[in-house]
Amino acid sequence: MTSPLVVTGLSKSFTMHLQDGVELPVVQGVTFTLEAGRCAVLGGPSGAGKSSILKMVYGNYSVDRGSIMVAHRGQFVDVATATPRVVLGVRRDTIGYVSQFLRVVPRVSALDVVAEPLISRGEDASAARPRAQEMLARLNLPERLWLLPPATFSGGEQQRVNIARGFITDHPILLLDEPTASLDVNNRQVVINLIAEKKAAGVAMLGIFHDHDVRDAVADSILDVTSFAAGKVAA
């Protein structure tokens, strides 16, 4: 089976220049492989660096050492060293990201927020909107909210908009950053179903889930991030 994502020897630390250049190690030697149609879950306590790993894979955090090989448009690119332009291409076509928090853009309706990733991938607005409606309906977002900008929505409503936006595309790799936190049982189940459908469609997923039930329901494998704790070797 081909691996759409191969991470090898990833290390990351922050240098806090405003605090006399203190080095804040995050992780080191992160090595794992994602398989198509499977969901790997990052495990470990808060502060172990789970989110940082997702962000590095997405190109949102820089990488000190190591490589992140992504199967992108028929060839492997290393997100750790790729130019911004290549990373933007990877985000458009290959890696999707469902974050915890929606970054609200003023005046754009929930429906357009959800349809936007499809449109930016070249889909017609007339085709993208019905799919966005379908997605919002599945996540039980009241229809009266669809045409409103999500700025005034509750935390849970905003999150569901963001989940819809993240799941609507057919990216072959999906990064899930606690998508079910603060969702009610019904919607949690919707997300579990969505993940199952993605698996069936051959999408490789890497996720962080604090909720044990959800984790047990979706995880095909658990990656213990504490084994990559920075400073472990040096200590």
Partner 1 sequence: MNIDDDAPLLTVNGVGKRYGNRIGCADVSFDLWPGEVLAIVGESGSGKTTLLNCLSTRLEPDAGSICYRTRGGEMRDVYQMREAERRFLMRTDWGFVHQNPADGLRMTVSAGANVGERLMAVGERHYGDIRGKAIDWLGRVEIASDRVDDQPRAFSGGMRQRLQIARNLVTHPRLVFMDEPTGGLDVSVQARLLDLLRSLVAELGLSAIVVTHDLAVARLISHRMMVMKDGRVIEHGLTDRVLDDPHAPYTQLLVSSILQV
Q: Which residues bind partner 1 (CB under 8 A)?
A: 14-18, 55, 59-62, 84-85, 87-89, 92-93, 105-108, 120
Q: What one-letter code names the amino acid at 132?
A: A
Cα–Cα distance for residue pair 121/124, rounded to 1 Å: 9
Shortest gap between Cβ of 119 and partner 1 (angstroms)? Answer: 8
d(CA 39, CA 47): 22
Q: In angstroms, give the least distance from the CB of 117 to partner 1.
A: 12
Nearest Cα residue to 173 out of 80, 97, 78: 97
SS3 156: helix
Minimal distance, residue 21 CB to partner 1, in Å = 8
33: its two tokens:
């492989």
**CA dihedral angle for residue 220, residue 98, residue 138, residue 197, rounded to 10 degrees:** -30
Of 119 and 192, which CB lies nearer to partner 1 in the complex structure? 119
State the minimum distance, in angstroms, from the CB of residue 106 to partner 1: 4
Nearer to partner 1, 122 or 142 (CB): 122
Shorter beta-carbon distance to partner 1: residue 35 or 93: 93
d(CA 77, CA 139): 34
Report d(CA 82, CA 57) in Å as an integer: 11
User: In the complex with partner 1, which residue's Cβ is closer, 107 or 212?
Assistant: 107
Q: Looking at beta carbons only, is 65 or 92 nearer to partner 1?
A: 92
| Least distance CB 190 / partner 1 (angstroms) | 28
